[in-house]
């Protein structure tokens, strides 16, 4: 193999730097998620002690919002990594190569902004559902009927054309970047937002499953993270997404039958 050119060495270095930064960010998110999840199903005297309150005051809501932001970043960044790395490579080959890092940061910021907005909704939703006695204080579905309905909604969405369109966009980062490309750091930010919206359109219903198994149930969080990643990068991810929809609907129907059994 011949020696790398300086440009090829720079691309390789950037790939390692960006990949390393992503890995560290994901690891930091999970470093907060894991102790909190374990404590929530334990003594609740450690990382999740702040949740032991009957008063949803401003401080509690801020901490709940921060929990959702960290959890969404930890769950969704792994599946966004291929697009982010490809975007970095494209920028390095463009006339804007001198500000490549700023472009990548802008892209990542736009992507995370979408999931931050989702986290805001997810912060308010448990409060409403708890008030309606549909969720327990552990943020788990009360009764099989509500869990069954959530499963059916999530499963049916997996079978919709909109889900398939968003998933195919997430699975084709090169085509996505070519279709939505805009110049400048602002363009990188808008590209990140567009990718985040596609990702949200692909995965929002799956996130509802957290309310079935428990929002801070570590097994559910890990399983959904792995499933989202495989759905976006595995060879038969689209077919797997459809199959999962059927299985999730069947689980929901089983829940409803068990309730009336």
- Two structure tokens written together for 237: 């991810």
Identify which has the larger pLDDT, 217 or 247: 247
Q: How many domains does the chain have?
A: 1
Residue environment code for 154-180, b if the CB has 16+ CB neighbours within 10 A, otherwise e: bbbbbbeeebeebbbbbbebeebbeeb
Q: In the beta sheet, which residues pair with residue 141?
A: 135
- pLDDT at res. 182: 83
Residue 16: inside a domain, yes or no? yes
Give the side-chain half-sphere CA count within 13 A for 71: 26
The pLDDT confidence band at residue 76, using thresholds 50, 70 and 90, is very high
Measured CA to CA in angstroms, residue 8 lies from 2, 12, 70, 92, 247 at distances of 12, 6, 34, 10, 46
Q: What is the mean pLDDT of residues 232-244?
A: 90
Q: 1 lies in a domain?
A: no
Tell me what percent of the residues of the chain surpass a pLDDT of 70. Answer: 90
> Is residue 38 over pLDDT 70?
yes
Mean pLDDT of the chain: 85
Helix or strand or coil: residue 141?
Answer: strand
pLDDT at residue number 13: 62
Q: Does residue 103 register a pLDDT over 70? A: yes
Residue 96 pLDDT level (bands cut at 50, 70, 90):
confident
92: tokens are 């390095």
Which of the 8 DSSP states describes residue 214?
-
Is residue 256 classed as helix, strand or coil in its secondary structure? helix
pLDDT of 18 higher than 60:
yes
pLDDT score, position 186: 93
With a cut of 80, say whether residue 56 has pLDDT above it.
no
Cα–Cα distances (Å) from 83 to 88, 169, 175, 176, 192, in that order, read 9, 10, 10, 9, 9
> Angle at Cα 83 formed by Cα 79 and Cα 87, nearest 5°?
155
211 within a domain of the structure (yes/no) = yes
pLDDT over 60 at 187, yes or no:
yes
Q: Does residue 145 lie in a domain region? A: yes
Token pair for 246: 């059927």
pLDDT in tens, 163-181: 999 999 999 999 999 998 8
- Phi/psi-derived region of residue 48, left when phi > 0, alpha when psi is between -120 and 50, beta in every other case: alpha
Strands (E), the chain: none
CB 196 within 8 A of CB 115: yes
Task: Write phi, then psi, for 141 (nearest 5 degrees).
Answer: -60, 130
Burial of 254 (0-12, 13-18, 19+ CB in 10 A): middle
Q: State phi, psi for 144 to the nearest 5 degrees.
A: -70, -30
Decide which of 32 and 138 is more confident: 32
pTM of the predicted structure, to 2 decimals:
0.87
For 42, the domain range is 6-260
In a domain, 209, yes or no: yes
The answer to whether residue 114 scores a pLDDT higher than 50 is yes
> Dihedrals φ, ψ of 187, to 5°?
-65, -40
Q: Is the pLDDT of residue 15 over 80?
A: no
């Amino acid at each position: 193999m011949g020696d790398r050119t300086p440009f090829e060495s720079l691309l390789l270095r950037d790939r390692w730097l960006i990949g390393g930064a992503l890995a560290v960010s994901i690891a930091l998110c999970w470093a907060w998620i894991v102790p909190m999840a374990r404590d929530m199903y334990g003594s609740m005297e450690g990382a999740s002690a702040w949740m032991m309150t009957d008063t949803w005051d401003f401080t509690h809501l801020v901490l709940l919002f921060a929990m959702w932001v960290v959890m969404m970043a930890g769950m969704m960044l792994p599946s966004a990594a291929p697009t982010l790395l490809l975007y970095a490579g494209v920028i390095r080959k463009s006339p804007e190569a001198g500000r490549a890092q700023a472009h990548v940061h802008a892209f990542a910021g736009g992507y995370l902004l979408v999931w931050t907005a989702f986290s805001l909704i997810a912060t308010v939703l448990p409060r409403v559902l708890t008030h309606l006695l549909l969720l327990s204080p552990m943020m788990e579905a009360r009764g099989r009927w509500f869990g069954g309905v959530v499963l059916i909604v999530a499963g049916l969405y997996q079978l919709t054309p909109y889900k398939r369109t968003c998933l195919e966009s997430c699975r084709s980062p090169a085509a996505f970047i070519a279709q939505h490309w805009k110049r400048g750091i602002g363009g990188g930010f808008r590209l990140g937002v567009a990718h985040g919206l596609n990702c949200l359109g692909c995965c929002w219903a799956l996130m509802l499953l957290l309310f079935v198994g428990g929002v801070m149930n570590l097994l559910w969080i890990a399983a959904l993270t792995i499933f989202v990643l495989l759905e976006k990068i595995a060879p038969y991810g689209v077919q797997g997404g459809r199959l999962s929809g059927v299985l999730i609907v069947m689980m929901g129907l089983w829940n409803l039958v068990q309730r009336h059994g």
